[in-house]
Amino acid sequence: MGQTTEKKFPVTAKEYNLCEEVGEGVSATVYRALCIPLNEVVAIKVLDLEKCNNDFDGIRREVQTMILIDHPNVLRAHCSFTTGHKLWVVMPYMAGGSCLHIMKSSYPEGFEEPVIAILLREVLKALVYLHAHGHIHRDVKAGNILVDANGAVKLADFGVAACMFDTGDRQRTRNTFVGTPCWMAPEVMQQLHGYDFKADIWSFGITALELAHGHAPFSKYPPMKVLLMTLQNAPPGLDYERDKRFSKSFKDMVAACLVKDPKKRPSSEKLLKHPFFKHARSNDYLARSILDGLSPLGERFRMLKEKEAHILAQDKASYEYKEHLSQQEYMRGISAWNFNLEDLKSQAALIQDDPISVSEESILSEKHKDRQENVGHPVERVYSELDNHSNVASQLEVGPSDIHDLENSLAALPIKPLQALKGCFDVCEDEIGVGSPSLRDSVRPDSEQESQQQASTSVMDREAGGDDAWDAGQSSTTSYSVIAGCKKFPSGSLLQDNVLSPKKYMGHRDREYLQPKYQSERNYSCPLQYRQKKDSSNSTSGEDASEGAVIEHRGRFKVTSADLSNKVPIYYSNSMSGDSASPIVPNLSAASVFPSLQCILQQNTMLREEIMKLIKFVEQNSSDASESTEGGINELVQIPPTTMKERELQTQVLQMQQSVKKNCIGKFQMSALVEELQRLKAKNAQLERKYNAMLKKDDKIQE
């Protein structure tokens, strides 16, 4: 099974002829090239080291992994070398391109089942190999499945692959947050107990849906939404009714992968024995069925780029506006990588009343209608989906009218109003997760999904029927005894742990083509802890708040529970059906609630101060510092320092403070009295003793 590369590929640029561009990623451009001395067509991935955020170590690990791996279904590198500030990685040329490319150009609604079966079988073989050698790929998706002219399939892109053995004896679970949200396993999102090889099985299941429908589930939603939906909703899958063109066996295989509890997902080895793969055809069939009639890869790539450029030029203004909204959503997504799960759950609970979410819920309950919305020309779809993305983004956060309102109200500011507002945000450091818990602890039972998962698994097991290998019970872990004996491969991410590749989190696969142009703008290294979102679900005005219930309205500004949630423990019901916005007040003593209330007040005060500062700033800079402005400012200044809600809270705090104080005073006084009593008792006893002694003396004298 080993891939023999006896040929010696030269390591100088002059021995290669670079031809056309055939691919573009976040960090690299890929060219078709000719290796002159060997007269062999190759692909060369050119990475600009100056644009790689100095993550040379990550790049070195990626390239080393690519060179060391040796499996026909894993794309390996022939060699690599630097030329100027560019790193060249020489690889076999995969003339068909990625499955994503192929779908975009010819199969916008996904492939037929026999094609999918071949593709998935080959990818699974790659995963069996990688897992057995201690690697988690962490980025399994159609865009990383490459096909060559003969129909050979290879899993590519080790930009985010991780080696479980990099850290020696450190436990075999990871705590870093990489991957692409739509393909990302819930346990990777949760960042609670780390994750293991099973994360790839989830991504594999999502990839199966992507190949079946032409896009991954939730691909039209922004990253934050994808996170919430993945964590909160039932796992996506193939619908037994709707996806009639697919076999039961395929549906069961997908259901086996998309189980929220990683323990219940089969290992790659076990999955390969699933009946679905039993009758998968040969790779020739793949070449005949999907590559026939396709134009050369370079041409397809160029056409796609040209169309995108054309659309961009036509709709630049609107695109920039959408991009602006999407960037905000992206920032929010990034900020959420450090999320507090309680916060996330409370947000998810609030989202249910968002009309979009409601429809999503029904979509999900009917199991995945979503693909039907995404037909049409691939490139048009890119932009219609961008449209969707932006619409959703706008509904999730600041709606267009609100942005304009803000713009208008802060028009006198010398800097962009939204940037000015960002000055109000707290920026915090990334938390780097170290010290993974052991594999035994790496899975968290998900009771919510459990019965459903078990049902689907048992259905699958039943269908497996006489297939002993598949029936023989699913081992929850990849064979570690095998791993232990394997050589250790250095590998890792091009990204720092816990820092995401901007492209990976765009929340839309198609945007990878546009990404490099906007990359620098998206390089947010710090999450924003302060988030501003609108409320539709709970506000009577019908405005939206997907992130937090509005606690208070102050002019255009709102203080939401989400704004406070990072610092103040607020407890929400996680129920999707109940009164999601009503806080569950835990049984806490007044004294323990007191600091939280103080914190809320403090934050409210800070927010008010920021608003006042901004208003004053506008006042100072306004050329028309006339009566009207002054009047406005004065009016605002005259606003009583606290609103009803805040006053109420303040009163409660004061009362609690007083009662706590009283209690303390009472306790203090009581103990002082006890002390005094004891002191007096002692004195009394002493006097008594003296008195008795004197009495005795008197008696003696009298005698």
Ligand X SMILES: Nc1ncnc2c1ncn2[C@@H]1O[C@H](COP(=O)(O)OP(=O)(O)OP(=O)(O)O)[C@@H](O)[C@H]1O
Annotation: binding site for ATP? 45
154 versus 274: smaller Cβ distance to ligand X: 154
Helix (DSSP H) and strand (DSSP E) numbers for the chain: 25, 12
User: Is residue 73 at the binding interface for ligand X, with CB under 6 A as the rule?
Assistant: no
Angle at which helix 297-314 crosses helix 316-336, to 10 degrees, equals 110
22 versus 551: smaller Cβ distance to ligand X: 22
Among 46, 63, 90, 94, binds ligand X (CB under 6 A): 94
94 versus 349: smaller Cβ distance to ligand X: 94
CB of 137 within 8 A of CB of 130?
yes
Give the Cα separation of 647 and 483 in Å (integer).
63
User: Is residue 26 at the binding interface for ligand X, with CB under 6 A as the rule?
Assistant: yes
198 versus 503: smaller Cβ distance to ligand X: 503
User: Is residue 512 at the binding interface for ligand X, with CB under 6 A as the rule?
Assistant: yes
User: Is residue 528 at the binding interface for ligand X, with CB under 6 A as the rule?
Assistant: no
Q: Is 139 a catalytic residue?
A: yes
Write the binding mask 251 to 270 for ligand X: x where contact by CB under 6 A, - elsewhere. Answer: --------------------
User: Is residue 45 at the binding interface for ligand X, with CB under 6 A as the rule?
Assistant: yes
Among 33, 69, 74, 91, binds ligand X (CB under 6 A): 91
- What does each C-alpha distance from 610 to 408, 422, 625 come to in angstroms? 18, 11, 20
CA angle 409, 415, 419 (to 5 degrees): 80
514 versus 549: smaller Cβ distance to ligand X: 514
User: Is residue 398 at the binding interface for ligand X, with CB under 6 A as the rule?
Assistant: no
Q: Where is 79: in which H helix or E strand?
A: strand 79-83
User: Is residue 378 at the binding interface for ligand X, with CB under 6 A as the rule?
Assistant: no
92 versus 222: smaller Cβ distance to ligand X: 92
Q: Which of 55, 139, 261, 510 is catalytic?
A: 139
Least gap, CB of 489 to ligand X (angstroms): 18
Give which of 169, 572, 678 is closest to 348, Cα–Cα.
572
CA dihedral 50, 24, 202, 244 (to 10 degrees): 170
User: Is residue 499 at the binding interface for ligand X, with CB under 6 A as the rule?
Assistant: no
CB of 608 within 8 A of CB of 559?
no
User: Is residue 27 at the binding interface for ligand X, with CB under 6 A as the rule?
Assistant: yes
In this structure, what token pair is assigned to residue 466? 């006489």
Among 104, 131, 503, 531, binds ligand X (CB under 6 A): 503
Residues annotated in a binding site: 45
User: Is the sign of the CA dihedral 21, 26, 28, 30 positive or negative?
Assistant: negative
108 versus 548: smaller Cβ distance to ligand X: 108
* 657-672 burial code (b ≥16 CB/10 A, e <16): eeeeeeeeeeeeeeee
Least gap, CB of 104 to ligand X (angstroms): 10
Give the Cα separation of 633 and 618 in Å (integer).
10
In this structure, what token pair is assigned to residue 40? 């062999």
Write the binding mask 452 to 491 for ligand X: x where contact by CB under 6 A, - elsewhere. Answer: ----------------------------------------
User: Is residue 90 at the binding interface for ligand X, with CB under 6 A as the rule?
Assistant: no
The terminus-to-terminus CA distance of the chain in angstroms comes to: 122
CB of 344 within 8 A of CB of 227?
yes
| Number of residues that this document lists for the chain | 703
Which span (20-28, 185-193, 370-378, 440-448) binds ligand X, by CB under 6 A?
A: 20-28
Give which of 53, 514, 496, 169 is closest to 315, Cα–Cα.
514
382 versus 618: smaller Cβ distance to ligand X: 382
User: Is residue 30 at the binding interface for ligand X, with CB under 6 A as the rule?
Assistant: yes
Least gap, CB of 179 to ligand X (angstroms): 11
Which residues from 608-637 bind ligand X, rule CB under 6 A?
none
Least gap, CB of 22 to ligand X (angstroms): 5
Give which of 531, 494, 660, 646 is closest to 157, Cα–Cα.
494
Which span (90-98, 477-485, 626-634, 679-687) binds ligand X, by CB under 6 A?
A: 90-98
94 versus 348: smaller Cβ distance to ligand X: 94
Please give the single-letter amino acid code of residue 275: P
CA angle 608, 612, 618 (to 5 degrees): 150
The upper half-sphere exposure of residue 578, i.e. CA atoms within 13 Å in the direction of its Cβ, equals 10
Among 80, 98, 190, 207, binds ligand X (CB under 6 A): 98
Q: Which residue has the tokens 């602890």?
A: 441
Write the binding mask 130 to 169 for ligand X: x where contact by CB under 6 A, - elsewhere. Answer: -------------x--x---------xx-x----------
Least gap, CB of 72 to ligand X (angstroms): 14
Size of the site for ligand X (CB under 6 A): 25
In this structure, what token pair is assigned to residue 57? 């170590």
Which residues from 409-438 bind ligand X, rule CB under 6 A?
none
Which span (91-99, 107-115, 251-259, 627-635) binds ligand X, by CB under 6 A?
A: 91-99
Which span (95-103, 125-133, 369-377, 479-487) binds ligand X, by CB under 6 A?
A: 95-103
User: Is residue 44 at the binding interface for ligand X, with CB under 6 A as the rule?
Assistant: no
Among 9, 16, 28, 460, binds ligand X (CB under 6 A): 28
Give the Cα separation of 445 and 263 in Å (integer).
8
74 versus 94: smaller Cβ distance to ligand X: 94
Among 63, 74, 80, 97, binds ligand X (CB under 6 A): 97
- Assign 3-class secondary structure to 363-428: HHHCCCCHHHHHCCCHHHHHHHHHHHHHHHHHHHCCCHHHHHHHHHHCCCCCCCHHHHHHCCCCEC
Least gap, CB of 369 to ligand X (angstroms): 28
Q: Is 451 exposed, middle or buried (0-12, 13-18, 19+ CB in 10 A)?
A: exposed
Give me the active site residues, please.
Answer: 139
Q: Which residues here bind ligand X, judged by CB under 6 A? A: 22-28, 30, 43, 45, 75, 91-94, 97-98, 101, 143, 146, 156-157, 159, 503, 512
